[in-house]
Amino acid sequence: MRRAGLALVFPLLLGVATHAAAAGVLHDVERRPLNLTAIAMFLVFAVATLGITYWAASRTRSMDDFYTAGGGITGFQNGMALAGDYMSAAALLGVTSMIFFHGYDGVIYAISFFVAWPLLLFLFAERIRNLGRVTIADIASYRLDQNRIRTMTAFGSLTVVCFYLVVQMVGAGQLIQLLFGLPYNDAIIVVGLLMVVYVTFGGMVATTWVQIIKAALMLFGGTLLAVLALYRFGFSLNALFEQAVAAHRNGTHILLPSGQVSDPIALISLAIGLVFGTAGLPHILMRFFTVPDAKEARKSVFVATGFIGFFYLVIMVLGVAAIAIVGSNPSFYVGGLTGGKLIGGSNMPVMHLAQALGGNLLLGFLSAVAFATILAVVSGLTMAGTSAISHDLYLMVLKKNRADPASERRVSRIASVCIGVVSVLLGIVFKDQNIAFLVALTFGVAASVNFPVLALSMYWNGLTTRGALSGGIAGLVSAVTLVILSPAIWVTVLGHAKAIFPYDYPAIVSMSIAFLCAWLGSVTDRSQRAQRERDDFGEQAIRAQTGFGASGAVSH
């Protein structure tokens, strides 16, 4: 039935994509040349990934297969999928553009995104695999009140998923509108349809392989572009940096921190949000449940760390190369180099670099890779949101773990469709909005809600249900409130003269509030239930460190 349904959806989606492409040709032919290479490569990727989903549907026989691919993903495969889930279009487009315009400041973002992975390796990977089964709520509620903790964790995860989905969907619409000639709304609908198909029919198996393929494409495309850029300068970094300094309007100042990171508190808050927010992203953490044991979980983070570290080194080279090559070429500007604007907007330096080095062919390939990146990330996010609804809220909270698999699967399909519809609608609504604050809110909420509760539940025997609820709710409320009061919203969006909270990234305050409230709520809890929860920590610690009793786990 699943394969038959997918077979019906397969030509429908291709028809929608082709129709959107045709509409883009008619719509934009008089305004700018259409990148037919990019559209062709996108359609090839769409066909290939839908084929993978059709194959994965035949292997998704149980809910364990749907949620975790039956725990049958190897450490290397999961490491590639983790890298694919994490290397987003925001990194390829956003970090390179930040280096292009601000130099050294952009490097800080790349380093902060990368530093989270050793943290995951040494603190989280093994314990999460041993304690959880499907979602991060399994860990947070291990010895605490199942209903209340699962409900809070599920809503926290859904908040992170929704905001991150908006960012990805708006990015997809703008990228495809610019490079493929598709109307914005058509691009959003195509992305929404594809991600719903990946999750609804293929589950975690399809999501995993889409992410693996995307990671390979991203690494190959970025490396090829970096090699071509270095080749132009005789593989001399000195020559590359000298040209970049000569081309940039700020000269040697691009090699030094600028005003954007001159405030140490702002810089620390930014780093805290990016590092600990990454360690609280539900679509990243749930990948640890797809491997058979803790050993493979550690291996998957090790592999992901290597690929992600290499990727960000490539990103830094691309950012500097864009300064040297794109920054000195007036054909990429409207109005000339002096006072002109970059064609396509501030996020396009790496795309212009691809065109300068490899023409429309390389530009088309990198455009398709960027779009594939968005598809992979949104499918992972949709999988995390679907699991929170069908497993945590429906199966564990509403049905008390007594629902039959058929009804749970039906709820998961409805949830994935609903998340897809909501993400499409939000992507259309936020089309012309400044979405920078949504990125800050996503990582701020993850760092302030998920990370404190997970860390304390695994490492502190004093955490109680009241403490976890106090910390999680306080972190969520403070993160959202402080972002609203920050310059990104209070000044830029709402138009006030001065922000009440001076920093765009609130993690330094909101995460501290979460930890403080969790500690205070726990130490003041003298109930008998709280004492039992403290006493149960010993059994949880044994399982976390040895894997005894974990699903599919073996001891090492």
Quote the CA–CA distance of 202 and 208 in Å, as a whole number: 10
Two tokens at 399? 């049905």
- Residue 201 has what DSSP assignment? I
Cα(266)–Cα(166) distance, integer angstroms:
25
* Cα separation values, 407 from 369, 411, 421, Å: 37, 6, 21
Beta strands in 162-261 (DSSP E): none
Please give the pLDDT value at position 508: 92
- Residue with structure tokens 């970049």? 244
User: What is the model's pLDDT at position 335?
Assistant: 57
Lookup: tokens for 512: 């501290």
**Which pLDDT score is estimated for 517?**
96
Where do we find the tokens 């949620």?
67
Axis-axis angle for helices 436-445, 146-179 (nearest 10)? 160
What is the maximum alpha-carbon separation in the chain?
74
* Distances, alpha carbon 511 to alpha carbons 41, 218, 273, in Å: 42, 33, 9
> CA dist 273 to 116, 120, 266, 306, 444, Å?
10, 15, 11, 22, 5
Distance CA 374, CA 254 (A): 30
CATH domain 2-428+435-546 topology: Sodium/glucose cotransporter (1.20.1730)
The parts of the chain modelled with pLDDT lower than 50 are 1-2, 4-5, 7-10, 12-14, 16-17, 19-31, 434, 552-556
User: Measured at the alpha carbon of residue 198, what is the angle toward residues 195 and 201, in degrees to the nearest 5?
Assistant: 135
Q: How many distinct helices (H) and strands (E) make up the chain?
A: 24, 2
b/e for 127-150, b at 16 or more Cβ within 10 A? bbbbbbbbbbbbbbbbbbbbebbb
Q: Using one digit for the tens of pLDDT, what is the confidence trace for 220-243?
A: 999 999 999 999 999 998 999 889
Question: For the stretch 61-72, what's the b/e string if a residue is b when 16 or more beta carbons lie within 10 angstroms of its beta carbon?
Answer: eebbbbbbbbbb
DSSP-derived letter for residue 73 is: -
Give the pLDDT score at 554.
37
CA angle 96–189–87, rounded 5-degree value: 30
Exposed (0-12), middle (13-18) or buried (19+): which is 495, by Cβ within 10 Å? Answer: exposed
Task: Write the CB contacts of 456 (distance below 8 Å, at least 6 apart in sequence).
Answer: 463, 467, 468, 471, 515, 518
Domain ranges for the chain, please list them.
Answer: 2-428+435-546
Query: Is the separation of the CB atoms in 49 and 375 below 8 Å?
Result: yes
Residues contacting residue 387 through CB under 8 Å, at least 6 positions apart: 67, 134, 135, 286, 412
Radius of gyration in angstroms for the set of CA atoms belonging to the chain, rounded to a whole number: 23
Nearest to 322 by CA among 95, 105, 168: 95
Strands 341-342 and 333-334: antiparallel
Q: Tell me how far apart the alpha carbons of residues 556 and 545 are, in angstroms, rounded to a whole number.
A: 10
Q: Cα-flanking dihedrals φ and ψ of residue 333, to 5°? A: -125, 150
Residue 26 has what pLDDT? 39
- 3-class DSSP assignment, residue 315: helix
pLDDT confidence of residue 433? 59
The Cβ of residue 261 has, within 10 Å, a number of other Cβ atoms equal to 17
Question: Under 8 Å CB-to-CB from 394, ≥6 apart: which residues?
Answer: 403, 408, 411
Give the relative orientation of helices 405-429 and 349-387 as an angle to the nearest 10 degrees.
Answer: 140
- What does the pLDDT read at residue 24? 44
Q: Which of 517, 437, 439 is nearest to 476 (CA)?
A: 517
| Cross-strand bridge partners of residue 333 | 342
**From CA 186, how far away is CA 182, in angstroms rounded?**
7
- The DSSP line for 29-70 is TTTS---HHHHHHHHHHHHHHHHHHHHHHHH--SHHHHHHGG
What is the C-alpha separation between 175 and 232, in angstroms, rounded?
Answer: 27
Say if CB 149 and CB 140 are below 8 A apart.
yes
* The model's pTM: 0.84
